């Protein structure tokens, strides 16, 4: 099975980086072919520039990294996103990834009734997030990770069967250890 991990965190000493390394090691130990897209290490530019916008409607890429990422996602059986929650959502780096990589004709099309139809055929996915906010608070404010990212965005492009695991108090060692156990259980 080919698993692509999309990772974003600027500091390699972070707990998120540890989550990435643990996830990668567990997948490799199970015989997975693992591809890591590390947006910061790659120097990915998340900003959507005028030239990107000119080509967006045509489904064409201006950024060669974005085009490469799309090819790597299309070759995947499974995708895992690892990132911190900042201000109740994904960091700008990941938002820019979605904006620049998920283009019409590559990840979705429109049918004759103008409904969006996903083109990615990824039948297993996970979102591993960290922060200092509980899922209950997320739900209270409208559940942006679940509603916007998982249901709307991933549902639109054809990423299915998504599991979201969240470490709600990243500053507490006990919670971090429990989170790593949840990831291990998920990856079994």
Extract the runs of DSSP E, i.e. beta strands, from the chain.
2-7, 33-38, 78-84, 108-110, 116-118, 124-130, 162-167
Per-residue exposure over 46-67, b if at least 16 CB sit within 10 Å of its own CB, e if not: beeeeebeeebeeeebbbebbb
**DSSP helix/strand/coil, 17:** helix
Domain boundaries, the chain: 2-187
CATH among 3.40.50.360, 3.40.50.1000, 1.10.3720.10, 1.10.10.10 for 2-187: 3.40.50.360
- Evaluate if residue 7 carries a pLDDT over 90: yes
Confidence label for 138 from pLDDT (cuts 50, 70 and 90): confident
What mean pLDDT comes out for the span 121-144?
94
Question: Is residue 167 within 8 Å of 129, Cβ to Cβ?
Answer: yes
Question: Is residue 104 within 8 Å of 140, Cβ to Cβ?
Answer: no
Confidence label for 114 from pLDDT (cuts 50, 70 and 90): very high
Contacts 24+ apart (CB under 8 A), 12-16: 14/84, 15/130, 15/167, 15/170, 15/176, 16/82, 16/83, 16/84, 16/130
pLDDT digits (tens, 9 = 90+) for 13-44: 999 999 999 999 999 999 999 999 999 999 99
pLDDT digits (tens, 9 = 90+) for 160-177: 999 999 999 999 999 999
Cα distance between residue 152 and residue 143, in whole Å: 12
- Tell me the backbone φ, ψ of residue 116, rounded to 5 degrees: -75, 135
pLDDT digits (tens, 9 = 90+) for 45-102: 999 999 999 999 899 999 999 999 999 999 999 999 999 999 999 999 999 999 999 9
Other residues' Cβ atoms within 10 Å of the Cβ of residue 139: 11
The per-residue pLDDT of the chain, averaged, comes to: 97
Looking at residue 176, its pLDDT comes to 97
| Helix%, strand%, coil% for the chain, nearest 5 | 40, 25, 35
Confidence label for 135 from pLDDT (cuts 50, 70 and 90): confident
Q: How distant, in Å, are the alpha carbons of 1, 24, 27 from that of 31?
A: 8, 11, 7
- Evaluate if residue 10 carries a pLDDT over 90: yes
- Evaluate if residue 115 carries a pLDDT over 90: yes
């Amino acid at each position: 099975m080919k698993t692509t991990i999309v990772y974003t965190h600027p500091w390699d000493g972070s707990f998120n980086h540890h989550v990435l390394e643990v996830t990668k090691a567990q997948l490799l130990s199970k015989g997975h072919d693992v591809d890591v897209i590390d947006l910061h290490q790659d120097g990915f530019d998340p900003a959507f520039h005028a030239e990107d916008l000119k080509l967006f409607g045509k489904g064409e890429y201006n950024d060669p990294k974005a085009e490469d990422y799309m090819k790597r996602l299309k070759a995947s059986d499974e995708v895992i996103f690892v990132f911190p929650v900042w201000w109740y959502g994904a960091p700008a780096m990941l938002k820019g990834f979605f904006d620049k990589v998920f283009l019409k004709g590559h990840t979705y099309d429109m049918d004759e009734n103008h409904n969006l139809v996903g083109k990615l055929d990824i039948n297993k996915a996970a979102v591993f997030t960290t922060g200092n906010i509980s899922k209950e608070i997320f739900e209270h404010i409208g559940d942006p990770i679940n509603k916007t990212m998982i249901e709307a965005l991933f549902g639109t492009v054809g990423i299915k069967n998504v599991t979201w695991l969240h470490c709600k108090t990243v500053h507490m060692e006990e919670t971090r250890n429990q989170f790593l156990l949840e990831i291990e259980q998920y990856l079994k």
